Amino acid sequence: MVAQIYAQIKGEFGALVEPFTLHSPLPGLVAGAWSACRESLLVGSVRRDIKEAVAATVSRINRCPYCVDAHTIMLNAASAYSSASSISHGRDDQIQDPAVRSIVAWAAATRSPGAEILLSPPFSREDAPEIIGTAVFFHYVNRMVTVLLSETPLPVNHQWLKGPLKRVAGWFFSRAVRRPKPLGASLEFLPETELPADLGWAETAPNIAGAFARFASVIDGIGRDLLPAELRACVREHMQAWDGKDPGLGRHWVEPTLNGLNEASKPAGRLTLLTAMAPHHVNGSVVHDFARHFPGDDKLLGALAWASFTSARRIGRWLSIP
């Protein structure tokens, strides 16, 4: 299955890139992640540059420089050079295309529940599943990338070289961006399942609903198999009160939340809470402490995915359909 997914990624995304391959120790997870990304970002009726602008802006507010670079490259691949440069440098008011400028303002507010632009979003009901799906997926994958990958997909991280390198990389991906892609082609990798109520924003687009239902089913199964029920309940309860803001410097807020857990569960609680709310604070000691109790790359990957998707689902709940 992973070989078949890799072939589809190469043909439709343009290359076998790390944000997908990092999921590969769990084949069902790479299938779900690819499907959720493909069906919301790569296919459909919404312009690709608009959705890439959502991906890049969500990545910027999550402080994920790898994904900002990756998706401003894809904006270049879609010939949206002004949008790519403006988003990279945080100069959103200089975006020339008004449709992109308004969607960037919306994406930049997706961690601010109750923001006026979230209550009256700048897209139609018909376009909502593609745009919200793209935002929700990137709130998920930014956390995975922040913990597991480096700061850029480019061969160097010098600012003065990034512009030319992004143009070259955009040219490389441009054919794949423009290649026609059928709806729903990624759904074959996982069995059909029911869409959870909190992902109801996807229900009017069968391919996106199918992708996120499958992705949620895989991650929920991983959580049940890997993490104790009381730990999952603790994290979910804490996330219910989360308003999208960074919890601040340090990790002082984590330990009181874990008081009700036994000592064996606390390392997993620490890793999942930090990944969900402050992935920049996940360091080697947090990972090593988790690995002493849950050895194996598959367990680390599963815990990170469960936490990241729990956070992304929470954000999806406050994104409005027109």
How do the pLDDT tens digits run along the chain, 322 residues long? 999 999 999 999 999 999 999 999 999 999 999 999 999 999 999 999 999 999 999 999 999 999 999 999 999 999 999 999 999 999 999 999 999 999 999 999 999 999 999 999 999 999 999 999 999 999 999 999 999 999 999 998 887 788 889 999 999 999 999 999 999 999 999 999 999 999 999 999 999 999 999 999 999 999 999 999 999 999 999 999 999 998 877 788 898 989 889 998 999 999 999 999 999 999 999 999 999 999 999 999 999 999 999 999 999 999 999 9
User: Do both 256 and 176 map to the same domain?
Assistant: no
Residue 194 has what pLDDT?
Answer: 98
* Within-domain flag for 206: no
User: Do both 48 and 150 map to the same domain?
Assistant: yes
Contact 290, 300 (CB under 8 A): yes
Contact 135, 321 (CB under 8 A): no
| Active-site position among 37, 64, 67, 234 | 67
User: Do both 166 and 258 map to the same domain?
Assistant: no
The domain total for the chain is 2
User: Do both 74 and 175 map to the same domain?
Assistant: yes
* Within-domain flag for 13: no
User: Do both 171 and 235 map to the same domain?
Assistant: no
User: Do both 165 and 236 map to the same domain?
Assistant: no
User: Would you give the end-to-end CA distance of the chain in angstroms?
Assistant: 37
User: Do both 152 and 243 map to the same domain?
Assistant: no
Alpha-carbon distance 197 to 41, whole Å?
22
CATH number at 83 reads 1.20.1290
3-state secondary structure (DSSP) of residue 105: helix
pTM, 2 dp: 0.96
* Within-domain flag for 4: no
Helices (runs of H) and strands (runs of E) counted in the chain: 16, 0
User: Do both 69 and 133 map to the same domain?
Assistant: yes
Contact 37, 52 (CB under 8 A): no
- DSSP per residue, 271-291: HHHHHHH-GGG--HHHHHHHH
* Within-domain flag for 38: no
Six token digits for residue 273:
């809470």
Four-residue CA torsion sign, 69, 75, 79, 84: negative
For 92, the domain range is 44-180
User: Do both 49 and 156 map to the same domain?
Assistant: yes
3-state secondary structure (DSSP) of residue 256: helix
67 belongs to the catalytic site:
yes
Residue 163 has what pLDDT?
Answer: 84
* Within-domain flag for 263: yes
Residue 264 has what pLDDT?
Answer: 87
User: Do both 129 and 248 map to the same domain?
Assistant: no
Alpha-carbon distance 299 to 232, whole Å?
15
The beta-strand segments (E) located in the chain are: none
Residue 260 has what pLDDT?
Answer: 86
* Within-domain flag for 242: yes
Residue 206 has what pLDDT?
Answer: 98
Boundary residue ending a domain (156, 180, 204): 180
